[in-house]
Amino acid sequence: MGSDTADTPPSVDPYGTDSNRSDPASGFGTPLNAVIGGAAGIVLSFVPGSTLLGGGIAGYLEGGEPADGLRVGALAGLVMLVPFVFFGFLASIFFLGVSGSAPGMGVMLVVFLVFGALYTVGLSVVGAVLGIYVKNEL
């Protein structure tokens, strides 16, 4: 007689390790990795390229594929964007004065938000992809 294993179904992974989750050994999820990377970028804000470093930390913690780096880097960049734009806008009001008109201040807020988002989120995504590359290669 032949083997009885021909009619058995494939084994089921009881831990559910699919590609949408981060590394099970780390124990952290994507939102927490993004917050840790974003907080590191905020703390290191006095260093040029801090958004790149914050994204790199988030990507290194996340691991996985480069697509995971895009997601966690964008989230970490959004975490960093809020205080960067807020303090940049306050500094511009302090140095430029509040004598501008209300529409002028609204335009300045939009300009700060757009350029801040491009800088912060863009460099954070690049850092996260590099962080995943470093984790996978080392």
For the segment 49-64, what is each residue's pLDDT rounded down to a tens digit?
899 999 999 999 988 8
Degrees, nearest 5: CA angle 103-109-114? 130
pTM to 2 decimal places = 0.70
Q: How many other CB atoms sit within 10 Å of the CB of residue 112?
A: 17
What is the average pLDDT across 113-132?
90
